[in-house]
C-alpha cells in the first residue's frame, strides 16, 4: 500500500504543474520513494453526486471513534505507571507506518510515519490487510454464516461445495472448519510456513485467473487425516472462502456473494470506512472470486472499530447479534475447551478460524497472576491486531518483518488486569 500527496495551485480557469510525493508504503518486498513535478490539465465542471459525496465523507468522519494522542494514556490513567513508549516499541521506526490502542472507549493513536517524515493525513492513511483478511474476512464470514444458518456450516465438506475437487480424493473428508484452521493435511512440507514460501504458493499468489488459482490451491497432496496437524497455506483460506460462497448461493440464490454478505451484514453495520468495503478478486474483475486470505484494506479507525466489534461488543451491533456467539467465543480464545490447532515454529501458538492465539503466563511477566490468551490478527511483513481479554486492543502496521507486541500487552495489563474470560454461549 503506497500513500502520497499532490500539491498544486488553481483558479477558476487554470492550474499549475502538480508536485507529487510518495514517501510511504507498507510492503516488505516493494519499497520505494518517488517524487517529481508534471504538467496537469484542469477542466472545471460539475461533479455528479457531489453533495452526496460530501455528505458521505462528513458522516464517516463524524462517526469515527473519538481519538486521543497515545501520550494521553498516561494522563487518562494516572497512577497506573503506564509507559507509552512501549507502544510501537520493538519495531524499526522507519518501517512503522502507524499504531494505535483502544481502551475504555477511547482510541489512542500514534502518528503516521513515512521514510521522509510525518504523513499529514493520518486518518486517511490507507493500510494493507495481508493475512488479517483471514480473520476479518474468511473467519468472520463463517461466524456470520453460522449465525444466519446454524453452526453446522463449519462442518460443510469442501468436496460438496467446490466442484473443482471432483475426482481429487486428497480433499475428501476436509471440512470448512479444517480449512479455516489450516488443518486440511494437504501439504508438501510440514515445516513452519515452508509451503507458504514455496513454488506452488508463489504461482498461486501470482495467478490472476480463477481457474489457475483454484488449480494451484488444490494441488497439494494428502499427507495425513484432516485435523491432524497445522500447516499454513493462504490457498486454504481461498478454498474456504469459495466453499462459503457456494454454500451461501445455495441458501440465498445464485447472485449471492460471500464478501458482499460480509460487507452488508457485518462491515457496514460495524461502521468501518469505505476503504474496507472492497476485496481483491480473481481475474482482476469486480465479478471475480474474492481472495479471502488477503486483499483487504484498513484505516486506523476501521481496524479499531472492527476489533472493538469482536472484542468488546462480542459480535453484536446495537444489541443485535451478528456473529454466532459460541463459535466467536472459541475463535477469541474464551472457551478453554476449544483452543484450535497448535502451530509450529519457534513459539507454538493456537490457530482457529483464521485467528491466532498467544498464551501469556506468569513466566512472561510476574504481573500476570494467571495464564490468559490473546487472540490476534496477523499480516505479512509486520502487522498485528491484538485483542486482549481486558477489552484493550493494540495494533500496528509495519514492513520490516518484525512482530513485537508483548510489551504493549504488559502496559495494557497496568490499566486493567487480564482476567480470564468466560465462555459466551446461547
CA 58 vs CA 47, 61, 120, 210, 299: distances in Å: 17, 5, 19, 38, 16
Answer whether residue 235 shows pLDDT above 70.
Answer: yes
Note the pLDDT of residue 421: 44
Q: Cα(26)–Cα(99) distance, rounded to whole angstroms?
A: 13
Q: What average pLDDT score do residues 304-313 get? A: 98
Answer whether residue 426 shows pLDDT above 70.
Answer: no
Q: Cα(165)–Cα(143) distance, rounded to whole angstroms?
A: 24
Q: Cα(344)–Cα(325) distance, rounded to whole angstroms?
A: 28
With beta carbons less than 8 A apart as the criterion, state whether 410 and 360 touch: no
With beta carbons less than 8 A apart as the criterion, state whether 62 and 357 touch: no
pLDDT 10s digits, 102-137: 999 999 999 998 888 899 899 999 999 999 999 999
pLDDT 10s digits, 351-385: 999 999 999 999 999 999 999 999 999 999 999 99
Instruction: Retrieve residue 128's grid coordinates.
Output: 494493507
Name the DSSP class of 104: T
Name the DSSP class of 407: H
Q: What average pLDDT score do residues 262-274 get? A: 97
**Torsion from C-alpha of 203, 240, 179, 389, nearest 10 degrees:** 110
pLDDT band for position 420 (50/70/90)? low
Q: Cα(128)–Cα(294) distance, rounded to whole angstroms?
A: 9
Straight-line distance from the first to the last Cα atom of the chain, in angstroms, rounded to the nearest whole number: 40
Q: Cα(68)–Cα(84) distance, rounded to whole angstroms?
A: 13
Instruction: Retrieve residue 389's grid coordinates.
Output: 481479554
Question: What are the residues whose beta carbons fall under 8 Å from the beta carbon of 82, sequence distance 6 or more?
Answer: 73, 74, 411, 414, 415
Amino acid at each position: 500500500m503506497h500513500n502520497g500527496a499532490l500539491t498544486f495551485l488553481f483558479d477558476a480557469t487554470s492550474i499549475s504543474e502538480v508536485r507529487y510525493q510518495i514517501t510511504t508504503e507498507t510492503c516488505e518486498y516493494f519499497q520505494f520513494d518517488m517524487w517529481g513535478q508534471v504538467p496537469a490539465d484542469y477542466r472545471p465542471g460539475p461533479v455528479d453526486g457531489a453533495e452526496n459525496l460530501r455528505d458521505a465523507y462528513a458522516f464517516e468522519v463524524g462517526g469515527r471513534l473519538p481519538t486521543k494522542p497515545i501520550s494521553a494514556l498516561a494522563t487518562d490513567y494516572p497512577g497506573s505507571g503506564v509507559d507509552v513508549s512501549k507502544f510501537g516499541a520493538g519495531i524499526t521506526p522507519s518501517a512503522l507506518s502507524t499504531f494505535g490502542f483502544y481502551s475504555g472507549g477511547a482510541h489512542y493513536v500514534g502518528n503516521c510515519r513515512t521514510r521522509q517524515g510525518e504523513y499529514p493525513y493520518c486518518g486517511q492513511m490507507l493500510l494493507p490487510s495481508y493475512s488479517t483478511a483471514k480473520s476479518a474476512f474468511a473467519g468472520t464470514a463463517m461466524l456470520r454464516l453460522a449465525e444466519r444458518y446454524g453452526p453446522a456450516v463449519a462442518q460443510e465438506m469442501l468436496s460438496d461445495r467446490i466442484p473443482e475437487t471432483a475426482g481429487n480424493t486428497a480433499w475428501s473428508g476436509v471440512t470448512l472448519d479444517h480449512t479455516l484452521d489450516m488443518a486440511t493435511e494437504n501439504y508438501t512440507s510440514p515445516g513452519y510456513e515452508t509451503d507458504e514460501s514455496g513454488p506452488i504458493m508463489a504461482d498461486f499468489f501470482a495467478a490472476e485467473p480463477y481457474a489457475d488459482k483454484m488449480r494451484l490451491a488444490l494441488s497439494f497432496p494428502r499427507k495425513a487425516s484432516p485435523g491432524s496437524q497445522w500447516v499454513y497455506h493462504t490457498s486454504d483460506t481461498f478454498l474456504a472462502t469459495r466453499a462459503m460462497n457456494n454454500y451461501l448461493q445455495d441458501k440465498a440464490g445464485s447472485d449471492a456473494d460471500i464478501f458482499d454478505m460480509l460487507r452488508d451484514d457485518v462491515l457496514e453495520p460495524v461502521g468501518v470506512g469505505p476503504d474496507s468495503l472492497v476485496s481483491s478478486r480473481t481475474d482482476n474483475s469486480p465479478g471475480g472470486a474474492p481472495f479471502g486470505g488477503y486483499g483487504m484494506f484498513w484505516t486506523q479507525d476501521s481496524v479499531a472499530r472492527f476489533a472493538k466489534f469482536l472484542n468488546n461488543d462480542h459480535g453484536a451491533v446495537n444489541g443485535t447479534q451478528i456473529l454466532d456467539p459460541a463459535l466467536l467465543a472459541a475463535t477469541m480464545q474464551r472457551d478453554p475447551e476449544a483452543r484450535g490447532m497448535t502451530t509450529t515454529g519457534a513459539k507454538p501458538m493456537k490457530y482457529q478460524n483464521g485467528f491466532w492465539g498467544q498464551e501469556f503466563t506468569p513466566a512472561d511477566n510476574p504481573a500476570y497472576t494467571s495464564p490468559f490468551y490473546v487472540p490476534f490478527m496477523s499480516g505479512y511483513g509486520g502487522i498485528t491486531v491484538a485483542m486482549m481479554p481486558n477489552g484493550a486492543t493494540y495494533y500496528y502496521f509495519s514492513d520490516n518483518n518484525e512482530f513485537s507486541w508483548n510489551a504493549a500487552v504488559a502496559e495494557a495489563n497496568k490499566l486493567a488486569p487480564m482476567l480470564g474470560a468466560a465462555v459466551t454461549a446461547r
